[in-house]
A and B are shown apart, each in its own frame.
Chain A
Amino acid sequence: MSCNHCTGLSRSRLLHRAAAEAGRGLPVIEPGMPLPAGTGLSRRSFVTQSVGAMLAVYGASRLGVGAFEEGIASAATGPAQPILVSIFLEGGADALSVLSPQGDPLYRKLRPKLGLSSGAVFAEDDRLHWHPATAGLTQLYGEQKVTVMPAIGYTNADQSHFTSRHYWEVGATSTDLRTGWLGRYLDVVGTPDNPLQGLSLDDTLAPALATAKMPVASIDGPDQYDFWSNRVWGEVETRMLDAIGTLGVGNGDPAFSTAAGVTAQVDRLRTQLVPFQGSDGNPAFASPVAYPKSDDSFPRRLAGLAAMLAAGLPLRVVSLSAPGHYDTHSDQAGDLAQGLQLTSDSLLAFQRDLEARGLADRVLVHVWSEFGRRAQENGDAGTDHGAAGVGFLIGTRAKGKMIGEFPGLKTGLDDDGNVSATSDFRGVYAGLLEQWLGIDAGRVIPGAASFQRPALVK
């Protein structure tokens, strides 16, 4: 791709356009003050163009013909990279409800109040039934686009949210690691000038994306990354926004340098996302499919993610938190169904969006939770922390063959009454790195050689 059709768009024109469309009108026009260039240009026309290349020009006008231009341009125009999207069900989702073992004779005894009695049969193990709220996932499963991990975890499961989540985030049962497994992947394959390579669509950066060297980014959504100030507009506003990057100079102090480093990343990200800024709360992109309507931002974020991928932005790994409350110590049934429904419906829409845009073969979605919940329900119509949980890989390239198996409630529980793992999350990570992301897992996962790799990709 070249940027022939975009070199005429100067950084200043883009910013003026952003200013004009940010829902606050144009600045007062004084005699002799030019109308901001580019006013009224269609925003969508940018999105359908080679966004990455255009942004390279934009960034380069300040940085000169430097690393940033090279980095974004080559990342955006290089060979299409496989993309991994990580979806976290925070709190420890109850695997025994997501795929309820209604065919296991002990299920009703352990779950007298919470036991489910409806839902489609799971084709690979007819003891298990899909939760009715996961109809979207069930549909994709029927199309061989979902790989199910019915009892994934690790031996000697830690029942602390924070410890177990940390293990999953760093890709090892170690409390000492300070980088995420996806972050270490980016440290191997990433570039120092492309913060979009690791993108957290969330209020804050997902720890799984924490890198040692490479920049990564966190945004609420691609259409919501605007900056302006009180009574500052036109050329001065352009200069002010450019000056954000010049504040990003570190010194010897770690906290100061971290703040400076984030400031520099804000500057790069802002320039990358200018074409997505909408007006009046409407994004500057259109989705080819309908997403669920919700107050939760999850469906909107997935819609934005598909638009960014379609625009050719150089993303590699992306992280989101699923909607819903999964730490269901009491009154589990309603909370769980609500979260699962929105998550599952949104993921179905996302998959259809990718398929409509011709991107489906490039994206694999990994759904995970820090643990499952105890087989025996507690007295509050809830469940306490357990061991093995449920996970999914979703995409047209997902193998669609169950990893591990459901171990049964008679012999499959550990001494604490929790489901034992029949697959190890580190083996799945190693498989994703090797079969999907294309690098040696030994460079990312400690002790990778010791984990069995299931076949994940077709």
Chain B
Amino acid sequence: LSHVAAYRGSFGAAEAERLLWRAGFGPRKGEAEALAALGLDGAVHALTNPGRELLVGAAPKDEKGRPLAPYDAWGHDHVWWLDRMVRTSRPLVERMTLVWHDWFATSNGGVGSQRLMLNQNQLFRQRGLGPFHTLLLDITRDPAMLLWLNGSDNSRWSPNENYAREMMELFTLGAGRGYTETDVREQARALTGFRNDWKDDVGPVDFRYDPHQHDPGTKTIFKRRGAFTWKDSVRLAVSHPSHPSFFVRKLWSYFVAGSPDPATQRGLEHLYVSSGHDVRPVLAAILKHPALYEGGRVTKSPAVYTAGLLRRLGRGIDTTAWTWLDGMAGQQLFYPPNVAGWDDSRWLDTATWRGRWWIAQYVLRPYALDPAKDAQPYDANVLVENALAFWHRPPLAQSTHTALVGFAQNALADARSASWKRKQYAVMAQNALRHLIAVSPDLQTA
């Protein structure tokens, strides 16, 4: 039995919508209501035990209608994954894939192979809700990671401590939490043995563990001595007393604003250790926690924002523009800024906000009304109502609603002088209102 509090308030469409934003990419039309009908426990169970994946809607294509080439074409990797986020019936699996991509942040900028990056992505998708120990073993020998943090450069004759350091600092323990520079060097020795070859025209091939490359000598790690191997290295990190608190704090930070209170932190650590370092029960407890429903809002990452707008409108992937657009907003998938991943506390600034403006512009393109042909009422309040209905009525703050009505009133007032303006300005104002709603603080956060 865990000692973690669970939310006991009402679980209606608003709470279900928030859960879908945290555990996925927001609701499709009617999805929040359907999830709310399951109740909190049923909803979290459905998300954490989703069964086989169904992809809803048309297969993704590029702007010329051709199928994607995610292994080969620049930017197709990003939209291939975005398509999974938009169409999946297992939003939490996809969301956890994104969490692990940030946690074990590997950039194709250093790997140089979309195929290896997508293989790593598939690893996260398959193992993302299971035991952390297994995931860490898999990622330690994952070819993209071996290239990214020089794991296959690390041999007994020329140790390279890049992976050893980041494994402890960023993946399992946290900076300065119970290890020394000597531990870094000794872990690097334990992790020796991986290698790969290089083939011209193909790139890196034949990733393998070669015992001859491994340093078989005695190492001292966390004050323990032994002829440790890479598996020992992973085991020592996961069983280090600093690991459960690091794991819980980090996982929590992806789902809830602010830090867990001490009792929750302790309870989640207990749950994690007693389950044998399993991700799923900790995740389920976080998704049921009162702080998720009663606490503050969280800023959506650009990929979540984009996928969410597309899901909301039922639009599939029909352009690869999302790659550079999400990049402009600060999140090109498979290209995190560095091995620490994206900084979730700094998604929004004046540059990335502009990226979101253009994302919304592209999302809205096929829906734009033609001022010369379409009609909208010459009434500010009705225009705002129509724009809200277009987005399936996302809840808005009063201040946002006031700003929208104020804009519509000003736009229509400008049109007073001429009849052609009264007709056309109302249509343009409708286009503008949809855009303003999409970039409002209300839709940037959830």
Listed in ascending order, the chain A residues whose CB lies under 8 Å from chain B are 28, 30-33, 90, 158-163, 175, 195, 200, 202-205, 207, 217-220, 225, 227-237, 239-240, 242-244, 246-251, 253-260, 262-263, 265-266, 269, 329-330, 378-380, 382, 384-385, 416
Contact = CB atoms under 8 A, between A and B. Distances in A.
A103 B368 CA distance: 68
A240 B397 contact: no
Nearest to A267: B350
Contact of A246 (B155, B175, B407): B407
Nearest to A262: B348
B1 interface: no
B357 A227 contact: yes
Nearest to A178: B345
A260 B404 CA distance: 14
B433 to A, nearest CB: 9
Contact of B160 (A28, A236, A260, A379): A379
A236 B428 contact: yes
Contacts of A260: 441
Nearest to B417: A32
A234 B162 CA distance: 55
B365 A384 contact: no
B445 A378 contact: no
B175 A162 contact: yes
Contact of A239 (B159, B176, B369, B410): B410
B361 A231 contact: no
Interface residues of B, number: 73
B431 interface: yes
B150 A204 contact: no
Given A225-B354, A263-B439, 20 more contacts: A33-B420, A162-B340, A205-B350, A230-B435, A232-B431, A234-B428, A235-B414, A235-B415, A240-B436, A243-B406, A243-B407, A249-B399, A255-B298, A262-B349, A329-B153, A329-B160, A378-B159, A379-B158, A382-B150, A382-B160
Name the residue in B349, B357, B370, B440 with the highest tally of chain A Cβ atoms < 10 Å from its Cβ: B349
B42 to A, nearest CB: 28
A232 B328 CA distance: 22
17 contacts: A161-B340, A232-B428, A243-B406, A243-B432, A243-B436, A247-B436, A249-B399, A253-B296, A253-B445, A254-B257, A254-B296, A255-B296, A256-B297, A257-B441, A259-B348, A259-B445, A385-B165
A251 B403 contact: no
Contacts of B200: none
B346 interface: yes
A247 B160 contact: no
A12 to B, nearest CB: 10
Interface string B140-158: 0000000000100101011
Interface of B: 150, 153, 155, 157-162, 165, 169-170, 175-176, 181, 184, 257, 296-299, 328, 330, 338-340, 346, 348-354, 357, 361, 364-365, 368-372, 397, 399-400, 402-404, 406-407, 410-411, 414-415, 418, 420-421, 424-425, 427-429, 431-432, 435-436, 439-442, 444-445
Contacts of B440: 247, 263
A220 B350 CA distance: 9
Contacts of B165: 159-160, 385
A159 to B, nearest CB: 7
B354 A227 contact: yes
Given A159-B181, A239-B407, A256-B445, A251 B397 contact: yes
Contact of B157 (A33, A220, A329, A379): A379
A342 to B, nearest CB: 17
Given A330-B150, A379-B155, A32 B418 contact: yes
Contacts of B369: 231
Given A159-B181, A219-B350, A262-B350, A231 B431 contact: yes
B351 A235 contact: no
B178 to A, nearest CB: 14
A231 B400 contact: no
A416 B368 contact: no
B442 A256 contact: yes
A247 B439 contact: yes
Given A163-B175, A236-B411, A378-B160, A255 B445 contact: yes
User: What are the 3 tightest A-B residue pairs by CB atom distance, in nearest-first order?
Assistant: A379-B158, A230-B368, A259-B441
A53 to B, nearest CB: 22
Contact of A258 (B299, B352, B402, B415): B299
